[in-house]
Chains A and B, each alone.
Chain A
Amino acid sequence: MSNALKTEVGRRYRFSASHRLHTSQLSEEENCRIFGKCNNPYGHGHNYVVEVSVSGDIDPATGMIANLADLDAFVERQVLEELDHKSLNEDVPAFREKVPTTENLCIEIYRRLKSFPQAKLERIRIQETGNNSFEYAGDNLEGNHQ
């Protein structure tokens, strides 16, 4: 079966949020040196593009891996409603302790979506700007939940 054909569906979502890259584990000077402009006390914003990839068998009756309306509703509820137009540092519990880098944001969004019931979550890719993007595909435990 290792040579079997596999199909994935990818869907893009957008949200806007602010963040400040800062950690209490470092001094003010070190924060400033490491994070540069991203350490500005009042934070700054991004228009994030989140790419969600899921895999599974194509249902012969519907032709779909997963009903996109259900995926959209799940992402809306689990991610967009909670992150859009928010301060990641202040409004999202996961980032009270962790620095809201886009690496960590990939992991947080993966964590929020991995229980999608209709298909297997393969990976989260986030474009923070046109020039950088980040991916998280879970570890083995997370990836093999089904």
Chain B
Amino acid sequence: MVLDLKELKDILEREVMQRMDHRHLNYEVAELAGKIPTCENVALVIWQLLEPKIKQGRLHRVRLYESPDLFADCFRNGASAAGKA
């Protein structure tokens, strides 16, 4: 394994779900204070929360779907958002 998926799931639960799930993104998420919670900005905040927590392997990309027809990708330059289904 690159990273134990159970551990990734725990990191996501702790860093993202507990902060954002069922919350009002404008008023209840400190990392989004002063920012408009567009799909781009939320994806970027999720990247910033996850990247330092992933010690094994390396965070490659965050894709956030706002709806089936709208999503934002965040990644480090040199990686690519291409090639995913």
Binding site for B on A (CB under 8 A): 1-13, 53, 58, 62-65, 68, 122-123, 133, 135, 137
Contacts and interface: CB of A to CB of B under 8 A. Distances in A.
Contacts of A64: 36, 38, 40
Contacts of B18: none
Interface of B: 35-41, 43-44, 47, 68-79, 81-83, 85
B82 A9 contact: no
A63 B54 CA distance: 26
Contacts of B77: 1-6
B78 A3 contact: yes
B47 A53 contact: no
B31 to A, nearest CB: 13
B44 A6 contact: no
Nearest to A58: B40
B36 A62 contact: yes
Contacts of B36: 62-64
Nearest to B39: A9
